[in-house]
Each structure stands twice: as C-alpha cells, then as structure tokens.
Amino acid sequence: MIAPMMNYTEHVRRLMSDIVSRVPRLSFLDMNRVLVFARFGRADTEGPNATCHCVCLPPSDPGYYFWRDQATGVLTRRSQWFVTKSPEVRIGAAPIDYMISFTLPRFCDQRRISARKRARYPGHPEWMAKLDTIVHELYHIDPQQPGIRRVQRADGTPSSRCHSPAFFQDVVEMVMQYLTSGPDPEMLEFLRYDFAGLTTRYGGVVATTFKGSSYPRRYVEVLNPQPDTADQQCPVEALEVPRAATHFTEEDLVTRRFWSGTPDTMARKGKVRAA
Ligand SMILES: [Zn+2]
C-alpha cells in the first residue's frame, strides 16, 4: 500500500495550535485568524526559511513621492497622492490577520543553521532550530496592536527593528516552556526529518499554497479623486502601480505537492491524499 503524503502546513498548523495552548505568552493568539502557507524555495539558495506577514494593518496615511531642487529646496515635481493598503484575506467565514509562510524544501533542510542559533540549544538535536523558527514567527505577532511586534532598546524605548537579543532569548524560553509542558511527541515528529527523510517516511510532501506565484501583499492605491492641495503647483507625475490582487479567499489556495528540485508546475488539484 502506498503511504498517504503528509501535509506540511497542516502539521505546522497543528503544532502552532498546541504551542499557543501551552505557552502563556502566546495564548492571546487566535489561530483561526492566522493562515499558514508554503512557498517554494530550494535548500541550497539564499532566502528566508519562514516569514510572518501582517495583513491587518490599516491603510497608510496619504502621501506622495517628491523631488526638490537641491539648492533652493523648492518642490520641482511630485507623484500623485497614494495610500498603501493591506489586502483582505478571508478563509471561509474567518478574516485572516496574519499569515506565516514556510519555504519548502528549505525550511525542512535548514542547511544554514547559524552557529549562534546552535549555541542557543546546547545538547539538543539540530531539528530544534525548526521549532525555534516556528515560535519565532508566532512571537512576531503583536499582542497589543495590528502589526509586527516592535522590540525595545535596552533603555526601554521602541526600536525600528523587529529583532533584538531579548527577542531571540524570549523565543528560547518559550521553546523550552513548550517542551517541558509535556506535548505529544507525535506533534513534533515531522520536524525530525529533512525533506528527503519526509519523502521516505510519508511518501511525499504536500502543502497549502497560493495558486500561481502571487500571495497577499501590501499594495499601493492611487487616491481618486486626488486631494486638492497647494502642493499641486509643481508638475505631477502619474504613479505606475503594478496590478495587485486586493482580495483573497480559499479559492486562491491549492494543496500542492512540493519537490526537492524544481517547483511542481502540474498541480494535482484535488487528487492528493494528505496525512
Ligand atoms: Zn523574525
């Protein structure tokens, strides 16, 4: 009998739900409003293993690009007024606030685990780096306001960065807290394998991903009508805005097989059995 393939994003999602139920600092998270999806990325190329995307930020204040005369400071030209907006993502009835993407097979293989990361888990197996990443991405979600958690400088003032030594240390503490809370080892089993190992154990890897190559991203919208302001004394340039999808639903998602080589362009829609 052929073993059913494993659904990577489902496994991550199940683990995340267990983590937020056991780690008090993450208990504010509503996993119904978090979408987990996969992107294709080879293990031997540069790029993130995982990313936390916020899709619940309010629109930006209206603005425009401008050019000034260096000598006089006078505005010589400007772009049209625009705002940047988050796309609306809704899966069934649930509005999505955050999306966490995992790059496959890169995330499974983690060939570039930094010495610094290794040093945070002395005496622990290498796959702990994956659990660290999963908690790290969840910890990026700000408990107080829509957006990515802002870190504080040592003096307590907010920093524009989103990582700090304290952030990494907090993640280690939460990972340890989770592991000592007695989770079902089965929950973590899939993290032990690299991509080839998963393929051997489960017969293949499928994951939820967005159709095509696009996924929800913040986009620019030119204001219509344009505000009537004194700034319009200088020449105004039209903004070239790339076409972007602004609404996403479950219709934009597909369960697709991932391979260690090139992306599977022939999606086997509806034909995969996932474990
Ligand atoms: Zn990060």
Q: Write out pLDDT tens, residues 34-50.
A: 999 999 998 888 889 99
Mean pLDDT of the chain: 89
pLDDT at 265 over 50: no
Q: How far is the CA of 5 from the centre of ligand 1 (A)?
A: 29
% of the chain with per-residue pLDDT over 90: 69
Q: How far apart are CA 223 and CA 241, in angstroms?
A: 12
Q: How far is the CA of 160 from the centre of ligand 1 (A)?
A: 13
Q: How far is the CA of 74 from the centre of ligand 1 (A)?
A: 40
Q: How far apart are CA 267 and CA 213, in angstroms?
A: 13
Q: How far is the CA of 20 from the centre of ligand 1 (A)?
A: 18
Q: pLDDT band for 268, please (50, 70, 90 cuts).
A: very low
Q: How far is the CA of 171 from the centre of ligand 1 (A)?
A: 10
Q: Are strands 219-222 and 82-85 parallel, antiparallel or unpaired?
A: antiparallel
Q: pLDDT band for 1, please (50, 70, 90 cuts).
A: low
Q: How far is the CA of 106 from the centre of ligand 1 (A)?
A: 16
pLDDT at 232: 61
Contact 105, 265 (CB under 8 A): no
User: What sign does the dihedral 202-208-214-217 (CA atoms) show?
Assistant: negative
Q: How far apart are CA 49 and CA 106, in angstroms?
A: 6
pLDDT at 247 over 50: yes
The average pLDDT across 203-224 equals 93
Q: What is the pTM of this model?
A: 0.87
The average pLDDT across 91-117 equals 89
Judging by beta carbons within 10 Å of its beta carbon (0-12, 13-18, 19+), is residue 33 exposed, middle or buried?
A: middle
Question: Hunting for tokens 């306001």 — which residue is that?
Answer: 145
Q: How far is the CA of 113 from the centre of ligand 1 (A)?
A: 14
181: three-class secondary structure by DSSP:
coil
Q: How far apart are CA 178 and CA 180, in angstroms?
A: 6
pLDDT at 194: 93
Determine the number of helices (DSSP H) and then strands (DSSP E) in the chain: 7, 14
pLDDT at 266: 40
Q: How far is the CA of 137 from the centre of ligand 1 (A)?
A: 6
pLDDT at 260: 85
pLDDT at 30 over 50: yes
Judging by beta carbons within 10 Å of its beta carbon (0-12, 13-18, 19+), is residue 11 exposed, middle or buried?
A: buried
Q: Which residues contact 260 (CB under 8 A, 6 or more apart)?
A: 42, 43, 105, 195, 196, 199
pLDDT at 175 over 90: yes
Peptide bond into 59 cis (omega under 30): no
Q: pLDDT band for 2, please (50, 70, 90 cuts).
A: low
Other beta carbons less than 10 A from residue 66's beta carbon: 14
Q: How far is the CA of 229 from the centre of ligand 1 (A)?
A: 40
User: What tens digit of pLDDT does each residue of 119-162 get?
Assistant: 899 999 999 999 999 999 999 999 998 899 988 777 777 677 88
Q: How far apart are CA 51 and CA 162, in angstroms?
A: 12
Which of 177-181, 238-242, 266-270 shows the highest mean pLDDT? Answer: 177-181
Q: Beta partners for 199? A: none
Q: Beta partners for 158? A: 152
Contact 272, 8 (CB under 8 A): no
pLDDT at 6 over 90: yes
Contact 109, 194 (CB under 8 A): yes
